[in-house]
Amino acid sequence: MTELSLIRTFNSKVASVFPSGLTAVFIGGTSGVGEYTLKALSKYVPRSRFYIIGRSKESADRIIRECTEHGHECRFEFIKADISQLKHVDSVSRQIMAKEDSINLLFQTQGTMAFKTTTADGLPLTAALGIHTRIRFIQNLLPLIQRAKGLKRVVSVGAATCEGDIDLDNILAVGVPLLQFRDQLASVMTLALEHLSEEAPDVSFVHTCPGVVDSGISRDAQGFSLKVMLLVSSLFKPLVATPPAESGERHVFAATSRVYSPRKRGPTTSSDKSEGLPLARGSTGEIGSGVYSVGPKNEILPDKALLVLKGFREDGTTEKVWRYIIESFESIIGMSTPVH
């Protein structure tokens, strides 16, 4: 665990690293962790450009208004889109690519607990938001991220550090108990990020778990038993929840700290120390491996999950998962390559 006071100290120094600001894209940034992180980051890094992609213009307008009241000279652009469909992901990606030559940060939080809903693409909504759209956004915007100077990072907020077994006959975990669903999709995302890191070793990929935090993800919860479970858990929420401000601070750290360095490090990150802290242990168990699974208090991936992921690399599961995702893209939108 990294103490919050230490994280705040490091976050306060981020502006000195980016004197001219940075460019960041927040997918699902109109509520929850995306909102908390965007507000904190805009406070720390003035003169930055932020793209907010979501469904609610009203929420986006509120967030932009609250950020601009602080007078940090940041620019904000809201792109209204239902990104549950891959064609909409490609459309949003093209809009951003038409305006930007490079991106420093892609930050994704889209998700839902509507387990019984299927998208127009024929995918379970949970998997479409938690896996397919996230990977497609990364795939599309990765060339712009690689062109950035300094920070080149992808953050996916999900169920990191919970990596568990994968049923290759049911990769999207349809109809499985909630905890099994969580663990399986955590593994799928981490393995996908590892594959993408092979393509872009100069980019760092951080998979996080926010813990219990007000995010709005449960508002679409379906099923009596799930609603009862959420009601019961809400009684204990005040005892275990991470406050919004703390969540924002911790995710700014995950989004900007050189502790989570790319596998291929430049001269500013070649040291085994960063900001007075050692480089983090990555998802392969190696220090500074380029892909990181990070817990609610910035904990590193536990040994149990490391062994699970190691087994997937050894038995070919990683390749099977990636092939399944790419074949899904080909089937749904007729192409598996990024948009241009």
Predicted confidence (pLDDT) per residue in 93-148, tens digit? 999 999 999 999 999 999 886 778 999 999 999 999 999 999 999 999 999 999 99
What's residue 220's pLDDT? 59
**Higher pLDDT, residue 223 or 210:** 210
First to last CA, the chain: 41
pLDDT digits (tens, 9 = 90+) for 309-335: 999 999 999 999 999 999 999 999 999
Inter-CA distances, 46 with 19, 21, 42, 118, Å = 8, 6, 6, 40
The radius of gyration of the chain from alpha carbons, rounded to an integer in Å, stands at: 19
Q: What is the mean pLDDT of residues 31-44?
A: 94
d(CA 189, CA 335): 21
User: Which residues 6+ apart lie within 8 Å of 71 measured at CB?
Assistant: none
Grade residue 230 by pLDDT with cuts at 50, 70 and 90. Answer: very low
Contact assessment for residue 124 and residue 115, using Cβ atoms and an 8 Å cutoff = yes
Query: CA-to-CA distance for 39 and 44, rounded, in angstroms?
Result: 9
Q: What is the pLDDT of residue 250?
A: 96
The reported pLDDT for the residue numbered 94 is: 98
> Each residue of 42-69: pLDDT tens digit?
999 999 999 999 999 999 999 999 999 8
CATH of domain 4-332: 3.40.50.720
Strand order in the sheet with 204-208: 75-80, 49-54, 23-27, 105-108, 153-157, 204-208, 291-294
Distance CA 152, CA 95 (A): 20
